[in-house]
Amino acid sequence: MEKLGIQLESALILRICHDLITPFNAISLGMDAFLLSREDDLLKNLQHSINKANAVLKFTRELFSTRSDTFCYASATLNQIVVDFLQCYGISFDIKSDFNSVPSIAAKIIMYTAVIMKEIMPYGGTMVTSIDNESSTITTRGSGRSIFAPEIAMTTEPSYRNIMRHNFAKLLSACGFELEVIQDGSNIVLVQKLC
């Protein structure tokens, strides 16, 4: 069991590093090029990379934070965290909820869903999440030019490529949620319902 815990930690660290290498490499290369040419377009690209790295770090901090079960995110705050993260990958996001706050467990489910949508919509798209407290259901609809079917399951050997899906499946199981995935061409619906 301890070996699996170390594998999970390693896979998570690798995943975070993987997601941050691209913007930091762009910053480094952009600075080198700017020092040689002093072009304004390079500064814009550099600013974009800095914003992307910042959004990924903020999102990752919230995703892996250890909030109590009673903690609630303001809906607008959660929405902005996810918008900033997905915007880096060309995906627009909106959350539909009749409430001003979202419990931390629901927020984590939404954030993991955002990571999965980022992975399965490599050319961008749209993600809309709705929360129905009466039926304890979180529904996410995604549409994009090209969508790959997600494999969401706990595997015995997590890697940096599947760690987020592995953790998502583990979270759903621990919280008593069932997941249903419905895919139709370039549209996908993920329904997480409390059993």
Range of the domain at 36: 2-194
CB contact at 8 A, 191 and 180: yes
User: How large is the average pLDDT for residues 55-69?
Assistant: 83
Distance CA 45, CA 31 (A): 10
Q: Is the pTM of this model over 0.85?
A: no
DSSP SS3 for 95 = strand
Residue 170 pLDDT more than 90? no
Report pLDDT digits (tens) over 114-137: 998 888 888 899 999 999 887 889
The model's confidence at residue 1, banded by pLDDT at 50, 70 and 90, is: very low
The model's confidence at residue 183, banded by pLDDT at 50, 70 and 90, is: confident
Closest CA to 141 of 192, 72, 98, 103: 192
* Number of domain units in the chain: 1
CATH number of the structural domain spanning residue 156: 3.30.565.10
The model's confidence at residue 35, banded by pLDDT at 50, 70 and 90, is: low
Tokens representing 95 are 């959350």
Separation of CA 42 from chain center: 28
Distance CA 100, CA 103 (A): 10
Find tokens 């490599």 and name the residue: 122
Distance CA 40, CA 51 (A): 17
Report pLDDT digits (tens) over 129-164: 999 887 889 999 999 877 777 777 666 677 767 778
